[in-house]
């Protein structure tokens, strides 16, 4: 053996695993720490200090698995964890050749191709309507469609053509709320449970209704009557919240009081459409853009575009605000409206329109 030949790995004492507070490890990780498959199985015998929780995944204590244990276990089962030699303490483990670098997964190992989703993910996002992972019969884990693993025991695989960018919560890679909602709703038949989750998503400020509808559409869940009913309530809820934020914006940032929720018509002519706020002296209208993926290409969408173009041809400046912009940057949206009002004097006079309550 010359100086360029790596020294063979020597087994490490098993107590260092407990000292490292790694409660869940894969067979590959144990092997990297000098623990053979036979030794791991021996310690999992009845009365032993370890237990096997999923194929190739071991719990390094004899008690019942916690929520964190179960989450880490499904990620280790579903993710491609490299077969690593044990690194020095404090030195991050490196991916195997050809594996993409990603955020740290369970026990500090890379885990870039498996995300917790469904009800377990919603619980990590803080949803009160989602039960804790420890009480779930199954934990959904999102994996690439090309993975050959199967669902087993409490690990339920959900396949995707492309994984969304993960959200790191408590050290666990989690699907974003819209995707987690779609995966959870896909497993639910209780209309009340579906409604509770969707309502909490909007009221709790977790995401906008349009993002949820987009994911439900991609998952082909809008053919289910109980989901469609819940989505209709969600959209109404989301619009009401956006309207409240629009009222607050006008009050808090000292904008002139507009005419709220009015219809516009040409004198003796056709109906031009409704707007959420209108300043007649400046010919400025604000419209909440609460369209969803379902509206694209529909008659309603065509009508929306037609109304906007018609108003602008008449000299009425139309400011479009989305619920997300009102939630995330209220002051900036107030500046946009104020700028439109101040610019009114530089425009040609707008056509005279009749304003009616909507």
Instruction: In whole angstroms, give the CA distance from residue 48 to residue 41.
Output: 10
Distance, CA of 212 to CA of 177 (rounded, Å): 8
The answer as to whether 324 is a domain residue is: yes
Asked whether residue 232 is domain-assigned, the answer is no
**φ/ψ (deg, to 5) at 281:** -65, -30
Residue at 276 is within a domain: yes
Q: Looking at residue 260, which CATH number applies to its domain?
A: 3.40.960
Burial of 338 (0-12, 13-18, 19+ CB in 10 A): middle
Is residue 293 domain-resident?
yes
DSSP-based three-state secondary structure for 69 = helix
HEC secondary structure over 6-38: CCCCCCCCCHHHHHCCCCEEEHHHHHHCCCCHH
Give me the tens of pLDDT residue by residue for the chain, a chain 358 residues long: 454 544 444 444 455 555 445 689 999 999 988 899 999 999 999 888 999 999 999 999 888 899 999 999 999 999 865 433 333 333 333 333 333 333 344 444 444 589 999 999 999 999 999 999 889 999 999 999 988 889 999 999 999 999 999 999 988 999 999 999 999 999 999 999 999 999 999 888 898 888 899 999 999 999 899 999 898 888 888 888 899 999 999 999 999 999 999 999 999 878 888 999 999 999 999 999 876 544 444 555 567 778 888 898 999 999 999 888 898 899 999 999 999 999 988 888 888 899 999 8
Residue 167 resides in a domain: no
Q: How many domains does the chain have?
A: 1
What does DSSP assign to residue 80? -
Alpha-helix residue ranges (DSSP H) falling in 186-224: 191-203, 209-218
3-state secondary structure of 3: coil
Q: Indicate whether 318 belongs to any domain.
A: yes
Structural domain of 310: 256-357
Question: Does residue 228 lie in a domain region?
Answer: no
- Asked whether residue 274 is assigned to any structural domain, the reply reads yes
Residue 329: helix, strand or coil by DSSP? coil
Calculate the CA 46 to chain-centre distance: 41
């Amino acid at each position: 053996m010359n100086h360029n030949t790596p020294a063979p790995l020597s087994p490490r004492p098993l107590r260092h695993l407990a000292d490292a507070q790694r409660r869940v490890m894969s067979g590959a990780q144990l092997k990297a720490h000098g623990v053979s498959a036979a030794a791991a199985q021996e310690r999992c015998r009845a009365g032993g200090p370890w237990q096997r929780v999923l194929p190739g995944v071991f719990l390094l204590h004899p008690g019942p698995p916690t929520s964190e244990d179960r989450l880490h276990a499904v990620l280790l089962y579903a993710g491609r964890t490299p077969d690593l030699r044990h690194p020095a303490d404090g030195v991050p483990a490196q991916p195997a050749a050809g594996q993409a670098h990603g955020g740290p997964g369970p026990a500090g190992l890379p885990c870039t191709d498996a995300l917790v989703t469904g009800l377990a993910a919603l619980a990590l996002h803080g949803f009160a309507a989602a039960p804790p992972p420890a009480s779930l019969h199954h934990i959904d884990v999102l994996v690439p469609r090309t993975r050959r693993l199967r669902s087993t025991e409490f690990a339920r695989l959900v396949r995707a053509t492309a994984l969304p960018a993960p959200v790191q919560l408590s050290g666990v890679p989690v699907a974003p709320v819209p995707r987690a909602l779609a995966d959870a709703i896909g497993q639910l038949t209780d209309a009340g449970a579906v409604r509770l989750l969707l309502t909490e998503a909007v009221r709790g400020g977790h995401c906008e209704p349009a993002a949820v509808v987009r994911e439900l559409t991609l998952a082909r869940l809008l053919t289910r009557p109980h989901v469609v009913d819940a989505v209709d309530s969600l959209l109404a809820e989301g619009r009401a919240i956006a309207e409240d934020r629009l009222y607050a914006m006008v009050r808090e940032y000292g904008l002139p009081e507009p005419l709220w929720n009015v219809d516009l018509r040409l004198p003796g002519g056709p109906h031009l459409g409704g707007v959420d706020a209108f300043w007649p002296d400046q010919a400025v209208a604000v419209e909440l853009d609460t369209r969803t993926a379902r509206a694209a290409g529909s008659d309603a969408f065509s009508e929306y575009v037609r109304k906007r173009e018609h108003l602008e041809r008449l000299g009425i400046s139309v400011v479009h605000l989305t619920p997300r912009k009102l939630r995330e940057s209220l002051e900036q949206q107030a500046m946009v409206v104020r700028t439109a009002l101040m610019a009114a004097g530089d425009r040609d006079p707008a056509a005279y329109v009749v304003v009616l309550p909507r």
